[in-house]
A and B are shown apart, each in its own frame.
Chain A
């Protein structure tokens, strides 16, 4: 039997790695990938809490499905933005996209 804490520790580590990627990577596509890591860590937590604390309520899995839907929408719009920026400025490095910097 696996204790609940193992899943929570793993999700915490995965979230911290994803946060590091989102903060430190230069490439905008890599930043989006790191955001996916964080969403996956949250999903692990949601499903683990459903299984360990409320297995009779299906709500935990419904939450995870909502996270899937939001992640798909986020990736579609984010990649469209990146491709649009690349078409105009020929770069996807996040520190060179400074058009709106004051």
Chain B
């Protein structure tokens, strides 16, 4: 077993354990902290996959923004949330059955796929991930249209979130 494999197994265990704890804790603050652990583990996986820029984006966007937003939402909707007696809904047995079937089906199908044993090919010489990504995102031959559409989507989501979450005005 190489060092990379050891790191992968450790991080994979941390991710799956934290994800399991996240979906089963009834205290939502604990669930949010386990979510942070999962997101950090995924960032480590990105580093193992030679995608360092994505790992940094993962930490900044997911842990720095999304997870903190989640914690804020948990605190703003307190009351019957933490210490809630029943954290699962009434049909969670069916959910458990559905998800185990789904997960085992995925794993069986993966086991039958011959390409799954592939090893990582070498990266091209003089590989500069950040400049490749930057050029691809703004070049007309690349992904400039999806990039601009994503920025419009983010603006719309920003304005929509403000409008939806604003308290009702008196004069409306």
Residues of A in contact with B (beta carbons under 8 Å apart): 1-10, 12-21, 23-27, 29-30, 32-34, 36-37, 40, 43-44, 47-48, 50-53, 55-56, 58-59, 61-62, 64-66, 68-77, 79-84, 86-87, 90-95
Q: 27 A-B contacts, Cβ less than 8 Å apart?
A: A1-B119, A2-B4, A2-B5, A5-B117, A7-B49, A10-B16, A13-B107, A14-B38, A15-B103, A20-B98, A21-B23, A23-B98, A25-B87, A25-B88, A27-B81, A36-B35, A37-B38, A50-B51, A61-B51, A68-B57, A69-B151, A69-B153, A79-B70, A80-B164, A80-B165, A82-B77, A92-B77
Residues A83 and B77 in contact, CB atoms below 8 Å apart: yes
Q: Taking the nearest CB of chain A, how far is it from the CB of B74, in angstroms?
A: 6
- Tell me which residues from 53 to 108 in chain B have a Cβ below 8 Å from any Cβ of chain A: 53-54, 57-58, 61-62, 65-66, 69-70, 72-74, 76-77, 79-81, 84, 86-92, 94-96, 98-100, 102-103, 106-107
